[in-house]
């Protein structure tokens, strides 16, 4: 297995979260929930795990109408995602190379 492959980050919900956060700065909790198609409680659970790993940070704010929660990748999380995505790309490239070889007769 590729040494840059991140087992913790590879959990589909976590990978989806960091993929949405990667091109952004702060992302609204509701937007993130809707983007990955999950429930508030499931997203909160995965956010807690990612915060615990140091991959994301959470900011809460209060406006006149409601309390808002925003999430973003930490520098560590951004690096972990880049390494993991590169590992996935290498795995896919290897699979393609094997599949493109002519079959032995």
* pLDDT per position as a tens digit, 14-54: 999 999 999 999 999 999 999 999 999 999 999 999 999 99
pLDDT mean across residues, the chain: 93
What pTM was computed for the model? 0.86
Angstrom distances, CA of residue 10 to CA of 1, 28, 71, 101, 102: 13, 22, 19, 29, 32
Domain boundaries, the chain: 12-100
Residue 6: predicted pLDDT: 95
Q: What is the phi-psi region of residue 101: left when phi exceeds 0, alpha when psi lies from -120 to 50, beta otherwise?
A: beta
Residues found in the chain: 105
Task: Give the Cα separation of 83 and 80 in Å (integer).
Answer: 5
Residue 104: predicted pLDDT: 60
Describe the strand order of the beta sheet including 67-73 as a list of residue ranges. Answer: 27-28, 67-73, 56-62
Please determine, looking at this structure, whether the domain spanning 12-100 carries the CATH number 3.40.50.300.
no
């Amino acid at each position: 297995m590729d040494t840059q492959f991140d087992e913790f980050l590879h959990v589909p919900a976590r990978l989806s979260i960091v993929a949405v956060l990667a091109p952004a700065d702060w992302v609204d909790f509701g937007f993130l929930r809707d983007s990955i198609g999950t429930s508030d409680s499931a997203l909160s659970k995965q956010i807690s795990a990612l915060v615990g790993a140091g991959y994301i940070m959470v900011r809460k704010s209060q406006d006149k109408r409601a309390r808002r929660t925003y999430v973003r990748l930490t520098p560590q999380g951004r690096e972990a995602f880049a390494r993991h995505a590169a590992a996935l790309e290498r795995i896919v490239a290897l699979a393609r190379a094997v599949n493109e070889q002519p079959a032995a007769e």
